[in-house]
Amino acid sequence: MPADFQTILNWRLLAGSHPFPGPDGGTCINEAAVVAAGLPYRTIRSSADCPPCFSRPVAAYALGLNDAMPDDVRPRLMAFVLRLSGSADTPESEAARTRCLAVQSVRRILAPLCAMAGMAEDAAACATAGDLSAAMAAAQAAAWTGGARSQAAAQVRRWREGAVTAAVSRTATAARLAGEDARCAAEVAEGAAPFVPGTWEQACAILEAALALGRQAPEIALAGARQRLDAARAVVPARLRPKVTA
């Protein structure tokens, strides 16, 4: 790995939006991408706050992952920091990215969660969903089955089974919304992660797949990105400066 990129990886990502990066970074993934691209810094609370050159569904999914990932996992997102600025594409391409995020979340994340819950038929339907319609149908069925099994488990005090099947119901419900709202696809990963090892790795792979569709961001020189990130780290925000008294 190039030394410059290692420096970029040392930027500290935090959940939520931040007024300005601190000495160690301290931004969400989209704010870090703004700094790395040399764009005017802005706080980003949703994908609508991103510069127009950012793909909206990709930015929404990345932001959802950023806010849901544990602190020790979130640095994985820095691998995408140079690929967001300039990724915006036509409405058709952006719609294809949203579909990709939804379908892949059902196939690669909801399916293993269903399997973990002992819902083999739902797991198979999710894993083999070939398009958005099939994925949404599989998610709807999983949400219903998970909810019913959770209630049944609670009645006989099978708490572990109840917890997993309730997670299936919540996660499948989020998956059903992901076809319209890309950030809901990140909620699929958030719901499955406590139960299925490797969920965050799958989520990053899904982000990679969505970015591979349509226009690719223009290459940003590592050295330039490093310099901009370092410069931002060197600036002490006004709120952190010591007060000077007369």
Instruction: Give the pLDDT confidence of 216-225 residue by residue, as tens digits.
Output: 988 887 878 8
**pLDDT tens digits along 4-40:** 555 555 677 878 766 666 656 677 889 889 988 988 8
Answer whether 97's CB lies under 8 Å from 58's CB.
Answer: yes
* Predicted pLDDT at 21: 66
- Give the start-to-end residue ranges of the domains of the chain: 1-88+215-246, 94-214
Distance (Å, whole) CA 102 – CA 57? 11
d(C-alpha 204, C-alpha 198), whole Å: 10
Model confidence pLDDT, tens digit, residues 76-100: 998 898 899 999 999 999 999 999 9
Q: What is the pLDDT of residue 245?
A: 52
Q: Whole-angstrom Cα distance, residue 6 to residue 2? A: 6
Question: What average pLDDT score do residues 236-245 get?
Answer: 48
pLDDT of residue 202: 97
The number of angstroms, rounded, from the C-alpha of 214 to the middle of its chain's C-alpha atoms is 19
Structure token digits, residue 183: 């950030």
Alpha carbon distance 115, 225 (integer Å): 42
**Does pTM top 0.75 for this prediction?**
yes
The three-state secondary structure class of 54 is: strand
